[in-house]
Homo-oligomer: A and B are copies of this chain.
Amino acid sequence: MSTAERAGAQDPRAQGRGGDEARLTVADLGEEGLLARFAPLLPHAAGEVVGTGDDCAVLAAPDGRYAVSTDMLVEGRHFRLDWSTPEQVGRRAAAQNLADAAAMGARPTALTVGLAMPGTTPVAWVEGMVAGLGEACAECGAGVVGGDLVGGRAIVISVTVLGDLQGRAPVTRSGARPGDAIVHVGAPGRSAAGLALLSAGIGVGEAPGLAGRGPALAGLPRAVDAGTRAEARACLEAFRAPRPPLEAGPALARSGASAMMDVSDSLLRDGDRIARASGVILDFDEPATGEGALADAVASLMPVARLLADDEAAAWAMARAWALTGGEDHGMLATVPAEALGAPAGADRLPDGARVIGRVREAGDGESPGARVGGRAPGAGLGWDHFGG
């Protein structure tokens, strides 16, 4: 909070809580008024030596190291004000950063948050966003230890996550070894399916907070069965407010994971990154075989795909593409030595929800390291080597 130009002019008339609260804008309240409202919504970090409100926060690093990563979200690109409630946007901003720390095998300890926004932004929107962000942090024991509020043409949220490796070696993307199993924790493709639903007008314009709870689902015919509605809701929620399996990151590290990423861009794209950084082939199971966790994931997406596709074959292709090439699920994608799979119950066991979805093998003569599906190189049609997931 240390630049001279701010989100809006401070107007003493707006400092009172009376008047038309719903129409109160960021410019009405000013930076100090906003900060006074946000402070109660933000959890403290466990290892907080100096909290928010000074030039810097100071955090403990018990093992003498810390993990750090920064991600930005831009209105109209990463979220839409008519597609998500402010709470969902805040939860998403937190989740994708918390997942980055977990994917190094770290426990997320704190976030800092930079927020650029027009002076016309309703205070209620910002308050909701901050509340959602704070909730996501509180659930995993992380704090919010500082940030910046500035004026801007569109809403831009920049989040930095700090993490504690708890004495373990960081799990990078370059350690995958031939013979390792590819393991995933999460529900691949749900976020992409949620985006597809919203793009088709399903779930758009729901009342704030309704998603996942109310009986209706805007844009959906009444005849759609309850199971399909439930899966559609889960997909919308995964896109709007992902809940990454944050515990699984450190747990996979304890199990001896050789490489790990959270799935930001897609199973195939991020798997390809691990493969290339490690100099190996990551061969994902082909869902078409009907066996294994990826086949299960595709099957669970089929009811939603049928809402959008003209026929069964098109629905299947759509569901398969969501699972393999859809982004922003923020599940944990790891490679683990084969011996970890059969580990007995205890500290080194794979975490609950971990499913094997492929195998790591050596790259053959003249073969480039990279991702495969059922032994075959993914075609350009899968879209996984282009931006935009």
Chain B residues, CB < 8 A from A74: 116, 150-153
Residue contact A172 to B50, C-beta cutoff 8 Å: yes
Measured as residues with beta carbon below 8 angstroms from the partner, the interface class of chain A is: 35 or more
Known contacts A50-B172, A55-B103, A106-B56; is A4 also within 8 Å of B389 by CB? yes
Determine if A30 is an interface residue (Cβ-Cβ < 8 Å): yes
Among A126-147, those with CB < 8 Å from B are: 145-147
Determine if A255 is an interface residue (Cβ-Cβ < 8 Å): no
Residue contact A50 to B154, C-beta cutoff 8 Å: no
Least CB separation from A77: chain B residue: B5
Known contacts A10-B387, A386-B10; is A170 also within 8 Å of B49 by CB? yes
Chain B residues, CB < 8 A from A58: 65-68, 104, 165, 170
Determine if A2 is an interface residue (Cβ-Cβ < 8 Å): yes
How far, in Å, is A33 (CB) from chain B's closest CB? 11
Determine if A60 is an interface residue (Cβ-Cβ < 8 Å): yes
Complex CA–CA separation, A148 to B97 (angstroms): 11
Option from B57, B96, B389 in Cβ contact (under 8 Å) with A68: B57
Option from B50, B104, B148, B265 in Cβ contact (under 8 Å) with A54: B104
Option from B50, B67, B262, B265 in Cβ contact (under 8 Å) with A57: B67
Q: 1/0 per position for A233-261, CB-CB distance to B under 8 A?
A: 00000000000000000000000000011
Determine if A23 is an interface residue (Cβ-Cβ < 8 Å): no
How far, in Å, is A53 (CB) from chain B's closest CB? 8
Chain B residues, CB < 8 A from A266: 4
Complex CA–CA separation, A70 to B324 (angstroms): 35
How far, in Å, is A64 (CB) from chain B's closest CB? 5
Chain B residues, CB < 8 A from A153: 74, 76, 153-154
Determine if A303 is an interface residue (Cβ-Cβ < 8 Å): no
Which of A104, A387, A389 has the most chain B CB atoms closer than 10 A to its own CB?
Answer: A387
Known contacts A4-B388, A66-B66, A113-B70; is A100 also within 8 Å of B156 by CB? no
Complex CA–CA separation, A96 to B2 (angstroms): 8
Determine if A289 is an interface residue (Cβ-Cβ < 8 Å): no
Residue contact B5 to A116, C-beta cutoff 8 Å: no
Residue contact B64 to A64, C-beta cutoff 8 Å: yes
How far, in Å, is A271 (CB) from chain B's closest CB? 14
Determine if A300 is an interface residue (Cβ-Cβ < 8 Å): no
Known contacts A54-B172, A165-B58; is A69 also within 8 Å of B158 by CB? no
Residue contact A154 to B154, C-beta cutoff 8 Å: yes
Complex CA–CA separation, A321 to B58 (angstroms): 33
Residue contact B54 to A264, C-beta cutoff 8 Å: no
Complex CA–CA separation, A172 to B106 (angstroms): 28
How far, in Å, is A300 (CB) from chain B's closest CB? 21
Which of A2, A49, A57, A74 has the most chain B CB atoms closer than 10 A to its own CB?
Answer: A2
Could you list 13 further interchain pairs (A-B, Cβ under 8 angstroms) beyond the known A55-B262, A72-B158?
A3-B327, A4-B328, A5-B389, A30-B387, A50-B170, A54-B104, A55-B99, A56-B69, A59-B65, A66-B66, A68-B145, A148-B158, A160-B160
